[in-house]
Amino acid sequence: MKIGYTLMCEQRGPKSLVEDAVLAEQAGFDFAVISDHYSPWLAEQGHSPYAWSVLGAAAAKTERIDLMTYVTCPTFRYHPAIVAQKAATVALLSDNRFRLGLGAGERLNEQVVGAPWPAVDIRHDMLREAVEIIRGLWDGDFVNYRGEHFDVESAKLYDLPERPIPLGIAVSGKQSCELAGEHADVGVAVEPDAEIVRQFADFGGAGKPMVGQSPCCYGTDEKAAIALSHQQFRWFGGGWKVNAELPGPSAFDAASQFVREADMAEQIPHGPDPQAYIETVRRWAEAGFAELAFVQIGPDQAQFCEWFSSTLRPRLQELSLAD
């Protein structure tokens, strides 16, 4: 199983994120994913730089580690033709180390452009059109497209990588699995749900990798790690169906007001003992995932990378849970 690292834009500034990408590569992570938000989930997180600028700098500063958006919404803040262009540019800058992860979006980020927030089935229809446009532009020809949601007029990308860019699509239910199974090279999910993996395979994703993501909070003080997890990440327990609909950090704060530190302790591996992290990796592997990216909560990214390199990664390799 490949183990990845998350460049979490909601909790780090742009220069720190680039430094974190270098640390992750040095620590031996197989890949790095980056969130693409306009706002943090909670005001306490305090950051949200532009992910694509960070990706360009990270591509220039690293040599080996793969990069991936986790995930970009190509239908509201961005027109899909622009997403196709910037993905191709990052693929070139990174010497083909980039994968484009796409999703149907969250109201938290997409409402900033003032567009109405439609129902999820409409958002999936928009995502399908966006994928068709992106794929068409990556083929290198002129594209004219007349869709229900998007138009493209005589567009052509003049800088394309020699190898096709792998495309991932976030899945959470039957409708998204059908879309991803037909169009994606990679499935993306935020829960270790074997049923989602099965649906993705049944709709055409069989043999294609699934990439997951799990928060954690490494630290030598277990109680401090739980307190930090609660402060920064109490929002995540609502699940995608809820989180996609909330309009801003204040809404996430209200929705998570009854989440306790004890709840966080049950859900997130934390503290210095590697066993909880190993069990997390095992759970995702048993659900059918080929890759898992950890999200280290909080500012101690260098400490986490050093611990991963010296302690967690060797243990996972001993158990054949990591490459």
Residue 128 structure tokens: 């399908």
245 in active site:
no
How far from 138 is each of 86, 160, 187, CA to CA, in Å? 11, 7, 20
Catalytic residue among 37, 124, 183, 230: 37
> Does an H or E element contain 211, and which?
strand 210-216
Burial 292-318 (b: 16+ CB within 10 A, else e): bbbbbbbebbeebbebbbeebbeebee
How far from 67 is each of 33, 47, 197, CA to CA, in Å? 6, 20, 22
CB 295 within 8 A of CB 17: no
CA angle 15, 49, 190 (to 5 degrees): 105
CA gap 190, 244 in Å, rounded: 13
For 154: left if phi > 0, alpha if psi spans -120 to 50, otherwise beta; the answer is: left
Catalytic residue among 106, 110, 129, 291: 106
Residue 131: cis peptide before it, omega within 30 degrees of 0:
no
CA gap 9, 12 in Å, rounded: 5
37 in active site:
yes
**On the CB side of 209, how many CA atoms lie within 13 Å of its CA?**
13
Any idea which residues carry the catalytic annotation?
Answer: 37, 106
